[in-house]
With several copies, the nearest count.
Chain A
Amino acid sequence: MTTVTTEVTTDREISYREAINEAIHQEMTSDDSVFVAGIDLAKQGDVFGITQGVLTKFGPKRIMDTPISENAITGLAIGAATQGLRPVISLMFIDFIGVCFDQIINQMAKMKYMFGGKARLPLTVLVNAGAGTGMAAQHSQSLEALLCHIPGLKVVMPSTAYDAKGLMVTSMREDNPVFMIMHKRCSRLRGPVPEESYTVPLGSAAVVREGTDATIVATAYMVHEALAAAETLAGEGISVEVVDPRSLQPLDTETVLESVRKTHRVLTVHEAVEFGGIGGEINAQIAEHAFDHLDAPPMRIGAPFSPVPYSPVLEKEWVVNSDQIIEQTRRLVSG
């Protein structure tokens, strides 16, 4: 995959959430085999607002409210996909993958392979990740690493409205199960989004800011924290390149390595708990494949090894922020 630095030429600004909503509307218009199912998706338009207007526009056949039965919802998507439909389901919070994890890792992910290729599973699973909203330990996690370790799944995690729409369209057109991980704090962020449909390929990272002294690889909301950090650091004469993988499975390692080969220093940042997070995978790959280009140890920032605390003071301390990124980047470039 080659580097795609997003250049958007439109004056139209909508939010990340609206962008995904628009993708769903457009794909449902062009393809009758798409249907949407999940808790409070139809009448209520989803508790995160992702399916607003779908019921009115497409009617109850195309979008259904389900019982609180995530195993049945997930199986619904799998079984229907084997029969040629293109289901989009929501599991609300990514924390809830736990209640239907067998259907995800042992059924959805493996069916095609176990059947010797004779199944196509064009389905998209919507989940919301992220802390910082006072929702405590069971509604605030970033569990993408669990999904990325399972062959058969694809995992995208956009940070901007533009990517959210483009990746949602691509996901819905994929003939494989894709987890679309939305970050709660990205949800209201606005950005330029063309009205017409477009795709952002899976497995293609974006260089969202160019720089020469260090690379920051950041995902989801951390992209914005990294960009803020880069801005501050620029004032100190440190030129930071920010790379957003956008899709984690497949992962566009090449774009990351290219950046590291240029800057010779790297800091990987995600909101998930650091231990066992996707940053370990990324940095291990960098260390193995760009070792000779590194002028300093590859560094990581992730959340400390604890459940997400409720108290605002602790939660603020738990969530990775731009100050930490600034501090670590300073260490990185001086190291």
Chain B
Amino acid sequence: MTTDLDSEQLLYMFRTMVTIREFEEAAGRMAEQARIPGAVHLYAGEEAVAVGVCSHLEATDTIASTHRGHGHCIAKGGDVKLMLAELLGKSSGYCRGKGGSMHIADLDLGILGANGIVGGGPPIAVGAAFAAQYQGTGGVSVCFSGDGSTNEGTWHESLNFAALFDLPAVFVIENNHWGEFTPQEKQGSITQLSDRAAAYGIPGFTVDGQDVLAVHQAAGEAVARARTGNGPTLLECDTYRFYNHTGRSEGDPRPEEERAAWRERDPLTILCGVLEERAILSGESADRITEEVQREIEEAITFAEEAPYPELSELLTDIYS
């Protein structure tokens, strides 16, 4: 695949994907050790989607995320220190400890929040897209949704709404083929979810969600379409989560062969291969990057663990402006 990306950009994308992976490995470990109080839904395996899409976004662009939101947050520029502190319920966290994994947000970076409600995000993404259009900011609103969530009515209402008003929005389906413990084929009777674009008269595409360059290219077209006033696009990314629905919990019902096959298609390995082929990265420097990122995550863990819990007086603040 040819691409407009220079080596600096490619390395940045690689590093961001590694950051997501290492963040999730750490979060998974900490959840297992009960150091994180709530549920964490790990994004490991799906890194190419968030990074490929967000590589086109500025701080003035917004994203609406899901319960599986860490990857989106990091790809959009989120700070792993503040994220980990939030996972631990600390006052230095993104939400001062009030939100946790399912509600991490950073409005300054255009991150409109993870969301504990499946299908909760799309209507909000519509609102952000409308604001960009109304204010003429040139901003684009990206909505990430799981395959399972496309069967919620809110998703449908949002696509129709965005299509009707030519809103600057991109609806990304992260099709990891499972919703909790139920496979996609038991949630709907079509296999290619981008076919749903036809219901709204907008373009729909399916790309290999393990290949960040493929995602980057398709997302680039979709973002450009939105930015130039040509309305929303539905972009389905074929991907897979490497862990069970929450954390790295036991009892993953997905067939072992299926899991193994997808592990073969690790987005990090795929990108690494491209970078090596183009002599942008050697195996050695990839390891160095991974180690650097690991150190960064270790520092974030230390930061998070040392951070104070909120004061009890904060219980009743932040409800109203």
- Touch between chains A and B, by CB atoms below 8 Å: yes
Taking Cβ atoms with an 8 Å cutoff, the residues of A that contact B are: 35, 39-40, 43-44, 47, 61, 64-72, 74-85, 87, 95-96, 98-99, 102-103, 106-107, 111-122, 133-139, 151-152, 154, 174-176, 304-307, 309-315, 317-318
Most buried by A among B131, B154, B320: B320
A119 pairs with B107, CB closer than 8 A:
yes
A311 pairs with B97, CB closer than 8 A:
yes
Residue of B nearest to A35 (CB): B134
A79 pairs with B112, CB closer than 8 A:
yes
Residue of A nearest to B108 (CB): A118
Q: Which of B129-152 contact A (CB under 8 A)?
A: 129-132, 134-135, 141, 148-149, 151-152
A85 pairs with B131, CB closer than 8 A:
yes
B17 to chain A, nearest CB (A): 26
Q: In the complex the two chains form, what is the Cα distance from A313 to B89 in whole Å?
A: 8
Given the interface contacts A65-B186, A83-B131, A310-B37, does A318 sit within 8 Å of B149 by beta carbon? Answer: no
B112 pairs with A116, CB closer than 8 A:
no
Other-chain contact of A114, B106, B113, B123, B314 (Cβ < 8 Å)? B113
B103 pairs with A115, CB closer than 8 A:
yes
Q: In the complex the two chains form, what is the Cα distance from A44 to B254 in whole Å?
A: 12
A112 pairs with B319, CB closer than 8 A:
yes
B177 to chain A, nearest CB (A): 14
Question: Which of B22-30, B44-52, B156-164, B272-280 lies at the interface?
Answer: B156-164
Counted as pairs of residues, one from A and one from B, with CB atoms less than 8 Å apart, the total is 271
Q: Which of B152-190 contact A (CB under 8 A)?
A: 152-154, 157-158, 160-161, 164-165, 179-182, 186-188
Q: Which of B67-100 contact A (CB under 8 A)?
A: 89-91, 93-100
Given the interface contacts A71-B158, A310-B98, does A79 sit within 8 Å of B38 by beta carbon? Answer: no
Known A103-B120, A139-B102, A318-B315; 5 more pairs at CB < 8 Å = A40-B182, A65-B186, A72-B123, A75-B124, A113-B318
Other-chain contact of A80, B99, B130, B181 (Cβ < 8 Å)? B130
Q: Which residues of A contact B33 (CB under 8 A)?
A: none
Given the interface contacts A78-B123, A79-B130, A83-B135, does A116 sit within 8 Å of B315 by beta carbon? Answer: no
Other-chain contact of A176, B62, B108, B314, B320 (Cβ < 8 Å)? B320
A77 pairs with B103, CB closer than 8 A:
no
B191 within 8 A of A: no
What are 25 A-B interface contacts by the 8 Å CB criterion? A43-B182, A64-B165, A66-B161, A67-B148, A67-B161, A79-B127, A79-B128, A82-B128, A84-B131, A95-B117, A102-B154, A103-B120, A111-B113, A113-B98, A114-B95, A114-B103, A115-B318, A118-B105, A121-B321, A134-B39, A134-B100, A135-B102, A310-B89, A311-B96, A311-B98
Given the interface contacts A75-B154, A80-B128, A82-B128, does A310 sit within 8 Å of B38 by beta carbon? Answer: yes
Most buried by A among B105, B152, B188, B319: B319
Q: Which residues of B contact A111 (CB under 8 A)?
A: 113
A113 pairs with B319, CB closer than 8 A:
yes
Other-chain contact of B105, A64, A83, A119 (Cβ < 8 Å)? A119
Bin the interface of chain B by size.
35 or more
B253 pairs with A43, CB closer than 8 A:
yes
Given the interface contacts A78-B123, A102-B120, A314-B315, does A137 sit within 8 Å of B149 by beta carbon? Answer: no
B122 within 8 A of A: yes
Q: In the complex the two chains form, what is the Cα distance from A115 to B116 in whole Å?
A: 13
Q: In the complex the two chains form, what is the Cα distance from A135 to B155 in whole Å?
A: 24
A116 to chain B, nearest CB (A): 4
Q: In the complex the two chains form, what is the Cα distance from A137 to B99 in whole Å?
A: 7
A202 to chain B, nearest CB (A): 10
B271 within 8 A of A: no
B181 pairs with A40, CB closer than 8 A:
yes
Q: Which residues of A contact B90 (CB under 8 A)?
A: 311
Q: Which residues of A contact B321 (CB under 8 A)?
A: 112, 120-122, 174-176
B316 pairs with A311, CB closer than 8 A:
no
Residue of B nearest to A66 (CB): B161
B289 within 8 A of A: no
Q: In the complex the two chains form, what is the Cα distance from A68 to B131 in whole Å?
A: 20
B113 pairs with A115, CB closer than 8 A:
yes
Residue of B nearest to A79 (CB): B127
B123 pairs with A99, CB closer than 8 A:
no
Q: In the complex the two chains form, what is the Cα distance from A138 to B99 in whole Å?
A: 10
Residue of A nearest to B129 (CB): A79
A135 pairs with B38, CB closer than 8 A:
yes
Q: Which residues of A contact B151 (CB under 8 A)?
A: 67-69
